[in-house]
């Protein structure tokens, strides 16, 4: 069990957004069993509450996450949680969109937590990377699966084989980081991005995310059928009618999530 004196993960609701904060700054928010369970519980809360449209994952103390808590691992704690995998997020994230808000650094498993999110906001000068090879380990928490789909082959190989971190600016140039923020401003920038998303239809958001994520597994022959199975119910929803009516009437839509 963890000896942390306060919750390892904090949650706060802000206008339809659930801010999920890794709260172990004394160990640079390293992932132990309590963090994994806390993130998993927060994602369950996000997906299970119709008042929440989006989640933001961030870290306390001026940094995002240093990866797995090796000391806790040696003591027998597991940083994996159920079918959600490493940190309670790497294998199965949320149905709703997630934004990572990175300060300081996101390395090893910490970078993999960020890569499990759908959008990434990082402070200028933040360091991101997968240094596992320096310890004769492998970045098996998702980085080697996600990065080849998001970055050029040779860039991924350099990251994986050297283990050296890169500044957020380089990841921004490669498209992995959506927005850069001044140091100390990553969460504010993530909230600004979230505000542009949460005003949209919740059914459309969830369906769009599902299609973008799953289409890599579809053949050319089946992609239209599978996309239609996900998007079809959105087009026939009450929210779709409301969106069209609101546009025609020049007013803001009122979503019902059905």
Report the alpha-carbon distance of residue 104 to residue 184 in Å, rounded.
9
Q: Nearest to residue 145, comparing CAs of 115, 171, 174?
A: 115
CB half-sphere exposure, 250, CA atoms < 13 A: 0
Would you report the helix, strand and coil content of the chain in percent, each value rounded to 5? 45, 20, 35
Annotation marks residue 132 as catalytic:
yes
Residues 92, 53, 169, CA angle at the centre, nearest 5°?
A: 70
Annotation marks residue 252 as catalytic:
no
CB half-sphere exposure, 106, CA atoms < 13 A: 30
Given 12, 45, 124, 132, the catalytic residue: 132
Given 26, 45, 103, 112, the catalytic residue: 112
Catalytic amino acids? 112, 132
């Amino acid at each position: 069990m963890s000896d942390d004196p306060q919750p390892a993960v904090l949650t706060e609701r802000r206008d339809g957004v659930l801010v999920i904060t890794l709260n172990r700054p004394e160990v640079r928010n390293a992932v132990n069993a309590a963090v994994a369970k806390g993130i998993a519980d927060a994602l369950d809360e996000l997906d299970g509450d119709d008042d929440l449209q989006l989640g933001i994952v961030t870290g306390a103390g001026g940094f995002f996450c240093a990866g797995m808590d090796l000391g806790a691992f040696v003591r027998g704690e597991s940083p994996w949680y159920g079918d959600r995998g490493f940190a309670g997020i790497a294998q199965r994230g949320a149905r709703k969109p997630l934004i990572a808000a990175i300060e300081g650094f996101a390395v090893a498993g910490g970078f993999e937590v960020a890569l499990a999110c759908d959008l990434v906001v990082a402070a200028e000068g933040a360091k991101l990377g997968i240094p596992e090879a320096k310890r004769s380990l492998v970045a098996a928490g998702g980085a080697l699966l996600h990065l080849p789909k998001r970055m050029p082959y040779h860039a991924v190989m350099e990251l994986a084989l050297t283990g050296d971190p890169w500044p957020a600016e380089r990841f921004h140039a490669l498209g992995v980081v959506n927005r850069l923020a001044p140091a100390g401003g990553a969460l504010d920038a993530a909230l600004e991005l979230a505000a542009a998303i949460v005003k949209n239809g919740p059914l459309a958001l969830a369906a769009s995310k599902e299609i973008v994520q799953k289409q890599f597994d579809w053949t050319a022959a089946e992609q239209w059928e599978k996309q239609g199975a996900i998007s079809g119910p959105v087009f026939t929803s009450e929210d779709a009618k409301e969106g069209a009516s609101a546009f025609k009437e020049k007013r803001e839509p009122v979503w019902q999530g059905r």
